[in-house]
Amino acid sequence: MKGTRRFDPRPKIILLAAGAVFFFLPLRLEVLGAGLMLLLVPGGLVLKTRLLRVLSSILPILILVALLTPFFYRQGTPIWQMGETVVLTLRGLEETGRLLIRFTGITAVFALFYLTTPAERFLSALEWYGLPFRAALVMSLTLRFIPSLFTLYQRVEDAHSLRRAGELADRNGFFRRFRNLLPTLTSVLIQAVKKIGPLSMSLELQGVGLSSRRTRFVRLPRFRDVAFQFLLVLLILSLLVTVLVIFPQLWYNGAS
Amino acid sequence: MSSSENSPKDREARSRNTTRIASLVIMTAVTAVFTFMIRIPIAPTRGYLNLGDVAIFFSALIFGPWTALISGGLGTALADIVSGYSQWAPLTFFAHGLQGLAAGILFHRIAGPEARLGQRRTTTGLVLAFLAGTVIMAGLYFAAGAFMFGPGAALVEVPGNILQNVAGIVAGTLLWSAVKRAYPPVTRYRW
């Protein structure tokens, strides 16, 4: 785990983009499956149950895809016919496999990235790629405000439930629950909006908007210190592209 | 700080800028909290209704289209990342961001700055904001879902997304009216 966190987020972003694109390429099912395995096996070894937890969250949608997709394809070699009507074809099964691998692959690529990259390093990497300072500032301040706003929500909810304990005893029904939530949300929003003034003043006092050079809390290593990691990533990607260009039989030709 | 940056005009511009940043930060955090922490269970399906769309419509009505674009997109995308659905984050950013932008533009163009509940043009603005927001959000999710895991499974998600939008516009409108009445200075944050 430590090793994956030491891997610089800047070349990791290139891998993330390449991984997401790979699963959309019209390749043969076996090639996509091998790509998925290359992600899941080392990923599973490093992240263990954390990756499994992410993948289990997409299980309902995978089941839905497996049940619905095969019947959308009538072309190709029939496998199951009811009278004259073709119900299931080989093409339908192949497309289902493709969609299952694609969705699992994209989920795994993003999960591997976010589970091994701390948010502040990710933001610094985005800044390195050209994300404006103000956008990065908004994102990092938001990450700091989320826990405080959630605590505020809990306090307001507690205060409201103390005031109307009898009313809230009967909380059944979606609309009643929804209606009961509105006074709490109103109070939370007013308290949240009231924070805008002090936050704005504090930003101004800290010199946000001035032309002077900003200091950084998180500093990424110099490019030359991680050049080897960039080189490694580019080498892997070039190798992959070369293999896909040299062997056209790896591409899906649509015949089944 | 150079002397040219200390003129009253520059100070005013800087203050406006920091207020915008602060309102974006607070509304993005509110959207993220409403999306992944406040959930109302729906008994028949055992699913959940999250309140992210409530925050987006509220931002669009109170703060205007630009805050709704950024806080809607970023807040829901952060919520996706934190709750383990990071594969949806890029799509969520665009779908919810554009939903907020469209709702904000239409509402403020039609209802105007003095909008109040009960006015005809306010109602028209709200209906059009809801329709535009729903078509953009549900449409983008459907298109991306169809591309990623086929039209069959993508179609199943459409009613849930429409329900989210209905809850969003209903609660968002009630909150817009209540917050404006209880804390009138909120209107000065619109841009």
A56 plus A38 within the same structural domain:
yes
For residue A85, give the H/E element and its range: strand A85-89
Q: Which residue of A has its CA nearest to B15?
A: A204
* A69·B32 Cβ contact <8 A: no
A182 plus A241 within the same structural domain:
no
Q: Do B68 and A205 meet the contact criterion of CB atoms below 8 Å apart?
A: no
Among B22, B49, B171, the residue with its CB nearest the CB of A203 is: B22
A93 plus A33 within the same structural domain:
yes
Token pair 């090793």: residue: A3
ipTM of the complex: 0.90
A91 plus A17 within the same structural domain:
yes
> Is A14 among the domain residues?
yes
> Is A170 among the domain residues?
no
Cβ contacts of residue A102 below 8 Å, gap of 6+? A23, A24, A32, B148, B149
Q: Beta partners for A56? A: none
pLDDT in tens, B103-148: 999 999 998 878 888 889 999 999 999 999 999 999 999 999 888 8
Q: Report how far residue A88's alpha carbon sits from residue A175's, in angstroms, rounded to the nearest whole number.
A: 43
For residue B101, count CB atoms less than 10 angstroms from its CB and return exposed for 0-12, middle for 13-18, buried for 19 or more: buried
A148 plus A82 within the same structural domain:
no
Q: Closest Cα to residue A55, out of B84, B48, B35, B91?
A: B84
Among A65, A142, A182, the residue with its CB nearest the CB of B25 is: A142
* A190·B183 Cβ contact <8 A: yes
Confidence of residue B7 (pLDDT cuts 50, 70, 90): confident
Cβ contacts of residue A224 below 8 Å, gap of 6+? none
Q: Do A76 and A89 meet the contact criterion of CB atoms below 8 Å apart?
A: yes
What is the reported pTM?
A: 0.82
Q: In chain A, how many domains are there? A: 2
A94 plus A3 within the same structural domain:
yes
* Structural domain for A1, as ranges: 1-118+221-256
A190 plus A129 within the same structural domain:
yes
pLDDT of the residue at B99: 96
A34 plus A80 within the same structural domain:
yes
Among B5, B49, B58, the residue with its CB nearest the CB of A210 is: B5
Phi, psi at residue B41, to the nearest 5°? Answer: -65, 140
Q: In the predicted model, is pLDDT for residue B43 greater than 60? A: no
pLDDT in tens, A231-250: 999 999 999 999 999 998 88
> Is A33 among the domain residues?
yes
A113 plus A132 within the same structural domain:
no
Phi, psi at residue A164, to the nearest 5°? Answer: -130, 50
* B18·A207 Cβ contact <8 A: no
Contacts of A141 in chain B (CB under 8 A): 21, 25
> Is A92 among the domain residues?
yes
> Is A253 among the domain residues?
yes
- Mean pLDDT computed over every residue of chain A: 86
